[in-house]
Structure 1
Amino acid sequence: MSNVLLNRMKSARHVSGKKQQDWSQDAFTLTTRLLQVNPEFYTIWNYRRNILTKGIFHNSSPEAINHILTDELAMTMSALKSHPKVYWIWNHRRWCLENIPNGPGKQQEADFVGWKQIAWSKELFVVEKMLDSDARNFQAWDYRRYVLAGMPTPRPESAELVYTSRKIEANFSNFSAWHQRSKTLTSLWEHGKLDEAKSREQEFELLRNAMYTDPNDQSVWIYHRWLVGTDGSAELLEREIAAIQELLDEQPDSKWCVESIIRYKHLLLKKSSSADVKALSEECRGLLGRLQEIDPLRRRRYQDLELEL
């Protein structure tokens, strides 16, 4: 059976007008069987879409096409349960969503909900279930951003802020949730939908709680660097250095505390008067020496950083 299918694949890949191209239901069924064995075979996914668009869809009504694509989404959902990080499965779901007809009929009322809107709304629920199973699945997070951007009726960005808060509170180590939060906040700030100064302070408060909960969590510190960069003023840098120093006093072996203080002092160097530069440089050198003791495996990296001062 597989050899038969592979022979069909070879002919289907040459779409330059060969008469032997097979867009039949039988060929479609064979692609299902092969993809159940190997969902990473992207050529089969491409062939499957060709069968749909060049064969099955031609004699199908919009309602029938909607049913077919709904079945496709169900098929890929089953595949994702066993292979949640295979890109080609997520890619096929994208294609299905983009090809669902608008129907049924013409919009008559303001609260009209067609097939497309139902499918996209349901998809957001599906991806949330996937993230409940694995909150760090970067493919699922990327797909979530795709769904949010493409929904016929946009979802309020404030709701996404609530969603990321829930994910972060469940696990401070969820870098994907922090990343999604940074994108959401940036958009809200740019469109004037959120008080930037006030919300930034709220974010720093959230981060301090996370830092004290687990000072060695990389995700928290990376987000902190992004947040500091949204302001970057000398006053803010000095404040955050002082706050991190307090934590370092309690956690003297925290590599991330020391690295962050060095980073922010280095930024201060660019904003300081010549009288302060020498003192800040010496402080950074001392901290880099301390890092070499805390993290000897990266000693050469810290030595190179010292040469830049």
Structure 2
Amino acid sequence: MSESSSDSSCPDRWVFYCDRPEWKDVTPLAQEEGPSPVAAIAYSAKFRDVYGYMRAVIKNKEISERALELTTDALELNPANYTVWQYRRLLLKELNKDLHDEFDYINQMIEDSAKNYQVWHHRMVLVEWLNDPSMELDFLKEALSADPKNYHAWKHRQWVIKTFNLFGSEMEFTESLIEDDLRNNSAWNQRYFVALHTGILSDPDRTRKEIDFAMKAILKATLNESSWNYLRGLLIHMDKGLLEEDVVDFCEKLYASGNRSRHLLAMLVDIALEDEDTKNDERALQLCEELAKRYDHIREKYWNYIAVSVKKKISSTSTTNHKSTENETSRGCEQIEDTVNL
């Protein structure tokens, strides 16, 4: 779009606000940058024009249709400007605008600027004002189809389903996304969010079903960190934690099959540290070394640190066993001495 003033022969050409007769009563306000700005931004003439009038309108607290149209132009130039969005919402209320029409506008803004926090916040406010989430899940399904890992879309979806209790088919929705992409960490996170807020994690039987779901997903891609993290999150809510028999058995069988996923090895190390039984401590120490040197070299210092914890456990167990042996020997000697005295 040209930044020069238009004439009647070219109606689509941009017309500067300073050249519009209906704005002659407004004096634009230039941005105050001080007498000697260190790094002045090279705004375009169109940007300076629009925002000069935008600042004037806000200062004058003007409530009008033309002010609303001005916010549209301002947000087209900078859709992340919080102040303009806030003023637009003020105008929508004061002018008693039909908020359903505003959804057409915000739909287009989100399509054009889907990673912009302000456009999603504006949509949230509209839903709140109308107290009507009926369009949201379908809209979000489409948005997430375009970008399954859009943080803002997921955040909005969580707000909608929690605020309006729309959890009904959310587990099925996340399952479909996970089937499409096992590595969609956002879908795994959403599944945990739903499980946490619907009582699934308070019910051991339902949690075990989720554990089975996670383990089946792990078998499809053992290097996928998302499914391992989901499994760990579930185990926090089980009485035995990482020592849940089915999970320990699952990990041992996977290891015995020759799998050396760094996530599996990390799980085995943590299981050994949590288990009072010492039978796997030496293996855990070896796994720490393998993770540090081969399978997870980027976190070498971390695994060296964990190895120290394993060594302390081994040392502590050894000391305890030694004291136990000494006590048993002492008791045996006392019994022999008592027999002799008799």
User: TM class, shorter-chain normalised?
Assistant: 0.7 to 0.9
Task: Specify the SS of the correspondent of 1:121.
Answer: coil
User: In the alignment, what sits opposite 1:305?
Assistant: 306
Distance change (3 Å), C-alpha of 1:242 and 1:12: farther
Partner of 2:95: 56
Kindly report which structure 2 residues correspond to 1:66-215, keeping only aligned pairs within 5 A, or say none. 67=98, 69-100=99-130, 116-117=131-132, 120-151=133-164, 154-155=165-166, 157-189=167-199, 196-215=203-222
- For 2:73 and 2:55, the matched residues in 1 are separated by 17
Shift of 1:234: 6.4
Letter in 1 for 2:95: I
Q: CA deviation at 1:167?
A: 1.6
Q: CA deviation at 1:7?
A: 2.7
**Shift of residue 260 of structure 1?**
1.5
- Quick one: which amino acid aligns to residue 229 of structure 2? I
CA deviation vs aligned residue, 1:180-202 (integer Å, no higher than 9, x gap): 21222223327xxx992332222
Q: Could you tell me how far 1:251 is from its partner in structure 2?
A: 5.0
Contact persistence 1:136–1:174 (CA under 8 A): yes
Name stretches of at least 5 consecutive residues in structure 2 with no aligned partner.
1-15, 17-46, 311-342
Offset of residue 288 of structure 1 = 0.3
- What displacement does 1:219 show? 0.6
In structure 2, relative to structure 1, the CA distance for the partners of 1:249 and 1:47 (3 Å cut) is: same
Superposed CA RMSD: 2.3
Rounded Cα–Cα distance in structure 2 between residues aligned with 1:256 and 1:267: 16
Contact 2:57 2:67 in 1 (8 A): no
The reply to whether residue 244 of structure 1 matches residue 251 of structure 2 is yes
Task: Label 1:195 to 1:252 Cα distance change in 2 as closer, same or farther (>3 A).
Answer: closer
Aligned length: 264
Query: Please, which of 73, 77, 96 is the counterpart of residue 37 of structure 1?
Result: 77
Q: CA shift at 1:216, angstroms?
A: 0.8
AA of the residue aligned to 1:3:
R
Distance of aligned partners of 1:290 and 1:213 in 2 relative to their CA distance in 1, 3 Å threshold: same
Tell me the residue number matched to 1:24.
Answer: 64
Q: Does structure 2 retain, via aligned residues, the 8 Å contact 1:9–1:47?
A: no
> Higher helix proportion, which one?
1
CA-CA distance at 1:76 after TM superposition: 1.4
Q: Identity percentage over the alignment?
A: 24
Q: Distance in 2 between matches of 1:171 and 1:94?
A: 28
- For residue 29 of structure 1, report the CA deviation from its aligned partner: 0.7
Q: What letter matches 1:71 in structure 2?
A: D
The answer to whether the 8 Å contact 2:235/2:241 transfers is no
Q: Would you say 1:218 and 2:263 are equivalent positions?
A: no
Residues of 1 paired with 2:168 and 2:92: CA distance?
38
Q: CA deviation at 1:140?
A: 0.9
Whichever residue aligns with residue 88 of structure 1, its letter is: Q
C-alpha separation in 1, matches of 2:309 and 2:250: 25
Shift of 1:236: 4.1
Range that drifts further, 245-254 or 200-209: 245-254
Q: What one-letter code is carried by the residue in structure 2 that aligns with 1:35?
A: L
Q: Deviations over 1:139-184 (max 9, x none)?
A: 1111011111233xx43x3421222222222221122221221222
In structure 1, how many angstroms separate the alpha carbons of the residues matched to 2:245 and 2:205?
19
Residue by residue over 1:97-121, the C-alpha shift from the partner in whole angstroms, topping out at 9 and shown as x without a partner, is 1222xxxxxxxxxxxxxxx44xx11
Give the structure-2-normalised TM-score.
0.70
The normalised TM-score by structure 1 is 0.77
Cα drift, residue 83 of structure 1: 1.7
Match for 1:244: what amino acid?
A: C
Instruction: Check conservation: 1:5, 1:27, Cα contact below 8 A.
Output: no
- Match of 2:154, SS state, is helix
Larger RCO: 1 or 2 (CA < 8 Å, sep 6+): 1
SS at match of 1:247: helix
Please give the alpha-carbon distance, in whole angstroms, between the structure 2 residues aligned to 1:232 and 1:83: 45
Question: Are the counterparts in 2 of residues 237 and 264 from structure 1 also a CA contact under 8 Å?
Answer: no
Structure 1, unpaired ranges of 5+: 15-19, 58-64, 101-115
Distance in 2 (CA, whole Å) between partners of 1:262 and 1:13 is: 61
